[in-house]
Amino acid sequence: MRFLVFCVVMAFAVSGLARAGSLPDREGWQVVPTDKAFQALVEDLKAAVKADKMGLITQASASAGAKGRGLTIPGNMVIGVYRNDYAVRMLEASVAAGIEAPIRFYVTDNGDGTATLSWKMPSFVFAPYMDEGGEALAELATELDLMFLSIAEGAVAAK
C-alpha cells in the first residue's frame, strides 16, 4: 500500500507539478510556476486549503511588511497549513517532529505578472524524525504529501 501511495505521489510530481519556476530546483521541494498573478494565487491557495478541509494556521509576508515601511519588494507569502488530527498523530509518533508544524506553502511573485507556488514535501520535512517516528510518521508523511499535492492542484487549477 505504501508503495502504491509513493507511486501516486511521484506521478503527480512528474506530471508537471514539479517544474522549475522563479525558484531553482532543490531537494525535497515542489516548485510550480503559474500564469496567475501573485494575489490571485494567494487567494486560490487559501480557498484550496479550505476545500481540502485543512487549516490555514499561519501566514507571513515580508513584502507586506516592507510595504508598511515604504519599501517595495517582490510579493511573497508563506502560508502554514495543518490540521489537529494530523498534529496528534505526528506528536504520537515523534514529539521532536512537532517543530515542523504547520507545514508551509510559499507563494512568490515572478516579477512578470505571474507567481510560483512552492512547498517542501511533508515526507522531506519529516525525514529527520523517521528513526524516532517509525512507520506511523512515515504513513502520516505520505498522506500529507498527497494532501499538499491536492491543495496545490486546487490552487493552480482554480479560475
For 99-142, give the DSSP string.
GGPSEEEEEEE-SSS-EEEEEE-HHHHTGGGHHHHHHHHHHHHH
Domain definitions of the chain by residue range: 2-157
The length of the chain, given as a count of residues = 159
Question: Is there a cis peptide before residue 102, judged by omega within 30 degrees of 0?
Answer: yes
Longest dimension (CA), the chain: 53
Q: Pick from 125, 134, 151, 128: which is nearest to 89 by CA? A: 134
Q: Which neighbouring-strand residues pair with 118?
A: 31, 106
Backbone angles phi, psi at 104, to 5 degrees: -110, 145
Place of cell 479550505: 50
| Per-residue tens of pLDDT for the chain, all 159 residues | 444 443 434 444 433 343 334 677 889 999 999 999 999 999 999 999 999 999 999 999 999 999 999 998 999 999 999 999 999 999 999 999 999 999 999 999 999 999 999 999 999 999 999 999 999 999 999 999 999 999 999 999 987
Please name the fold of domain 2-157: TATA-Binding Protein (3.30.310)
